[in-house]
Chain A
Amino acid sequence: MSITAAVINGVAILALLIAFFKDKEKAIQSLKIAGKSFIKIIPMVFIVIIIIGLLLGFVPPDAISKFVGSQSGLSGVLLIGVAGAIMHVPSIVAFPLSASLLESGASITAVAAFITTLTMIGFMTLPLEIKTLGKKMAFLRNGMSFIIAILIAILMGMIL
């Protein structure tokens, strides 16, 4: 187990103990929600795990780096940013996918753009956002999120 995983598990156990100590009923309710969410996300986790295996096994690193590597430039970053904006997957599974992309030649900029647009922009949920918050707010938020995602990604590439 990595240190990160150990810390995360430690935090979860500690938080759970505190919760049980404070309010047993609420703590049990939390565990039920946790179990349901786990079951709900499992198929998506397996889908992404299989895709990662195929990606690393079949797609040669030069192909990936050609599209979203450091030599692909801004167009590669924009391409993967749009892909992230359209994709509708739980953000938790985006991270292993991103790690495998990095491993096989994608640039930090591209991966940062992918994660940021994937989490911040909801193309599929845009109709709902318009309905609840109005057209102007929804379009401004999603549009500007794309711009700042690209800016964050470019800065990430420069810093790291």
Chain B
Amino acid sequence: MKGKQKKGIIRDYILLGLVFVMAILLITFFPDKKDEVINASWYFLVEMLWILPAVMILLGLFTVFVPKKTVVKYLGKASGIKGVSLAILFGALPTGPLYVAFPIAASLLKKGASISNIVIFLSAWACIKIPQEMVELQFLGAKFMFTRLALTIIFVVIMGIFIEKLIAKEEDVSLIPTKCP
């Protein structure tokens, strides 16, 4: 994983170099666009830098203070409305990309958590993260952020229940992989 991460960072820097060269070339060939490009980039850079350190600090705090073990422990046995709320809460709290959540979801499955709660947990992890909502608030405004948040919660819960019904109908045991990496 470490090597892979390093590779990803190198890839990002190569990409940044390419984009930068492209921008320089474009501005050189079309100097009349220069001010507009620089103004727009500068504005978004400043907006981003105002919140990025704070968002990263929150991300770090959540990662350390809400360990994965706690998530599995509480969500493994919770059901009903409590289960749904916990699934959303635990999905929204810790941070990290979605693929970090897959192994957690797999161990939840093994522990007997309901399919609907696992789907809701994964979706909340992907889409209802608190630091992520903060960035959304900064750039798209409160109305946009809160409307999308409310709609997302409603639809994610419906989707979780629907997927559980679909899978239960077929009673397929092969759903649970025998080996988890």
Q: Which residues of A contact B (CB under 8 A)?
A: 1-2, 4-5, 8-9, 11-13, 15-16, 19, 26-27, 29-35, 37-38, 40-41, 43-47, 49-58, 90-92, 95-96, 98-100, 102, 108, 111-112, 115-116, 119-120, 122, 125, 128-129, 131-134, 136-137, 140-141, 144-145, 148, 151-152, 155-156, 159-160
Contacts and interface: CB of A to CB of B under 8 A. Distances in A.
Given A30-B57, A56-B37, A91-B129, 7 more contacts: A2-B138, A5-B54, A12-B57, A27-B64, A31-B60, A141-B122, A152-B151
B74 interface: no
A43 B143 CA distance: 30
A125 B98 contact: yes
A122 B126 CA distance: 9
Given A8-B138, A115-B136, A134-B174, A92 B50 contact: no
A119 B181 contact: no
Contact of B38 (A45, A53, A115): A53
Contact of A50 (B23, B53, B64, B102): B23
A46 B16 contact: yes
Contact of B105 (A30, A133, A151): A133
- Interface SS, B side: helix
Nearest to A148: B155
B32 to A, nearest CB: 10
A91 B132 contact: yes
A120 B126 contact: yes
B109 to A, nearest CB: 7
Nearest to B64: A30
A43 B155 contact: no
A33 B15 contact: no
Contacts of A137: 115, 118-119, 163, 167, 175
B59 A43 contact: no
Interface in B120-178: 122-123, 126-127, 129, 131-132, 134-140, 142-144, 147-148, 151-152, 155-156, 158-159, 162-163, 166-167, 172, 174-177
Given A8-B51, A9-B51, A49-B41, A92 B131 contact: yes
Nearest to A16: B57
B181 to A, nearest CB: 6
Nearest to A111: B140
Contacts of B135: 92, 95-96
Given A2-B138, A53-B41, A134 B176 contact: yes
Contact of B148 (A26, A102, A122, A152): A152
